[in-house]
A and B are shown apart, each in its own frame.
Chain A
Amino acid sequence: MSAPHVTWGHYQAMGPLAALLWLAAGALVYRRPRAATALLAAGAVLTLAFIAGLWLSLERPPFRTMGETRLWYSFFLPLCGLMAWRSFGHPWLLSFGSVVAAVFAAVNVARPEIHSRTLMPALQSPYFIPHVTLYILSYALLASCAVAAVLTLARLRRGLPEEGLLRLTDRLCRAGTGLLMIGLILGALWAEEAWGAFWSWDPKETWAFVTCAAFLAYIHLRRAGRRGAGTLLVPPVAFVFLMITWIGVNYLPTAAQSVHTY
């Protein structure tokens, strides 16, 4: 039996270091953008190295447990912040992504929740990696979308110009929802191969539907020309649904009916 090289024990050092690099990047982005980019990239490389090592050690993709999905989220979030900042010119996006990623890294240091190499047969599928990766990537984009919507709403309330932030919210929503739908569709195709049905209204599926539909409602409301407070509240509310899908569903009365709880 081959011996693992990287364990969650290594994250006790790598996690805090990555978090510090991201926090520094988030603080420096307003005055020293190049240094911020370098620090953020260093944190991401460190995390990616840990993920790769863990993948090899576990002899399976590290997507199975809550701790493992948090790890990917903390990896993607600063990168999404970086890309969104470079594309749309809002440095706070990088700060937001960095701070939330640091929080997730801290949670993983305290509660990694991963000890096993096992991967149940249903998870041994080519759909597994793209399904989870795209979901987590979309979660990162939609978190930024929710914050952008709240900031837009705040400016709207104060009578300040909000056009730029509104556009940003729309773009983040379209990108995040597009990826979320790809993840959902891959999940449906996978479920059909594993269990003979594309969709079975399992509680996790139901909440994934709620999340996706809520963001789609925002997209359609914006296409209808709506830009008031009611419309701008949709992304943050949808993000609450997203968090229930990801984490909260395990604690609901319906969780006992789910094959997706972990």
Chain B
Amino acid sequence: MSRLDRLHRLERPIASLARGIARVTATALGPYQTAVIRIGFAATWLLFLLRELPNRHEMYGPDGPWNWDMAQQLIANNHAFTVLMWSDSTFWFETVYVLALLSSVLLMLGWRTRTMSVLFMVGVLSLQNRSIFMGDGGDNVIHLMSVYLVLTRCGQVWSLDARRLRRAQEARARGERSGADEAGRPGGGADEAGRPGGGVDDTAQPRDGVDDTAQPWDVVDEAETRDGFDSGHSRDGFDDSGHSRDETDTREDETRDRVGPVLWWILGLALSVVTFMGELGWGWLLIFWGLWGAHGLWWAVERRAPGGELRLLLDVVANLVHNAALFVIMAEACLIYATAGWYKIQGSRWQDGTAVYYPLQLDSFSPWPALSDALAAHGTLVMLVTYGTVAVQVAFPFTLFNRRIKNVLLAAMVFEHAVIAVVLGLPFFSLAMITADAVFLPTSFLRRVGGWAARARGVLLPGRRRGSRGEPRVPGQRRGEEPDPESAEQARVGFTA
């Protein structure tokens, strides 16, 4: 073997390592996967809170069976985080419950996603840690995932934030266009309305060319602004990027984000009050002030130097954190299945093939006694389900290395959890587990589902079609022959999905 050969062999892994690093620093991977778990966990918690609305005082209220005083004594020992310990008044409890509901709705819709993910976590931790003897496995999953979600850029698609970003881009594109129109290109309106129609619009061709070369920049810009909207307040000065002042001044008024900074100041004020109350330990103070500071920093950098290197660095760090959190979420899901599976293997009932029979005979997990009895009559079936459950749970983490087998197993597990939801009466646990599974769904499938959701919305709310407010759909089209499916889909899906 020549030296050159050996060198060449070494180069390959290094090159792929470099590619990997470039990738995890340049992109927040799995935009659809993180969006679907954001929507899923927020919806699960929301539905749970709505379901338990009549029982909320009994479960988490200051005078429930597990009352405030008892919770206080336990939490003094385990130091769990819960804002419900700040006051034993019913008013405070109701406020927290409403805020938990509200943050779930807003996180699900993707409104100020990154801020809402923090508030969502606060709501989940506060209620669950307040009454730890109330929860089950489903609560446990939501608890962990609410923490992990804070670290992800989970509002890149299927969110109100994404829609706001797209609209701002549309506004900016219109600005560009009007500039171009002045330069002697009439018929821009028609162009916008039905762009790909060739022939007549040949004059537009060169511009497409320009747009195409600008595409990488566009993508970077999109990634940049993604978090701008995420953090909720960094969109100020968005329009400054790469445009001359006089051109953007008027539009800036239209697109400048005022809600974000207001939200940021309010939360900063609230955090100050909490800090002075002295209820939070230094660890949590560090986390919350850190997140608040990061949002502020992002906004300032976005405003002062939107194309600058510091801005790029922030983007790199945000991507890194996102990708690591996504990896942790996936690993966590694998750990859940691995633990559930491997411990089952050690049980005699899972070995003799009767395990599935027993939960169905327990009063707490048998909403359908007739069904349990019918199933109990079929020994072979029970054994097949018992063995199948263990096999699927143990095998799942290993099948991730083969896309096709993984998808088959994923379908099997989603189905099993749907059955568990009804047969064992564990709807919220099952919904949480299905959501956790969804992080492994292929992008193509998720996009198809997004398309269906958009169509469903079109049927249900025909009056609310995009463009009804006279806003042409620009970004999906201005790239000429091949409209970018991603932004086109975002345009259709909006916030319904």
Q: A and B: partners? A: no
